[in-house]
Amino acid sequence: MAGGVTAGFTVYVQFFYPFCFLYNLHVTIHDQTGRVVGTGLSPDGSMIIIPIRTETPITSLTASASGSASGPLADYFANPPVWFVSGSSTIPVEVTGGNYWLTIVLNR
């Protein structure tokens, strides 16, 4: 019975979309082959932490996020305008694991 070496990654994801409020940002982390290795949710656009454990070698991680945004004056409107935002970011990683920080720049 052969066992693989487990590598552990901790990915700290933050978002950048200036002068707006962010809502319900769904994040999916893929490895270099496109396999989903982690997911997370940020209901208010704050930073999230996604732990990843794997037994296959990983050399890069891609984080994709999508959610909603509203303008800076949303508190003053009964029905503020809301629009869809999304973005992604890729980082190289050490095969042995570790802690990684990335920022996803969101676009309309």
Instruction: Note whether 92 and 9 are within 8 A (CB).
Output: no
- Sign of the CA dihedral 55, 40, 102, 31? positive
Instruction: Establish if 3 belongs to a structural domain.
Output: no
Q: Which amino acid is at 31?
A: D
Backbone angles phi and psi of 100, in degrees to 5: -135, 140
Instruction: Note whether 72 and 92 are within 8 A (CB).
Output: no
Structural tokens at position 46 = 């704050």
Q: CATH no. for residue 73?
A: 2.60.40.10
Count of CB atoms situated within 10 Å of the CB of 20: 18
Number of domains in the chain: 1
Q: Taking residues 9-28, what's their average pLDDT?
A: 92
Q: Taking residues 25-47, what's their average pLDDT?
A: 95
* Per-residue confidence band for 108, with pLDDT thresholds at 50, 70 and 90: confident
* Per-residue confidence band for 88, with pLDDT thresholds at 50, 70 and 90: very high
Instruction: Establish if 69 belongs to a structural domain.
Output: yes
Q: How far apart are CA 47 and CA 44, in angstroms?
A: 9
* Per-residue confidence band for 61, with pLDDT thresholds at 50, 70 and 90: very high
Instruction: Establish if 60 belongs to a structural domain.
Output: yes
Q: Which amino acid is at 46?
A: S
- For residue 78, is pLDDT > 80? no
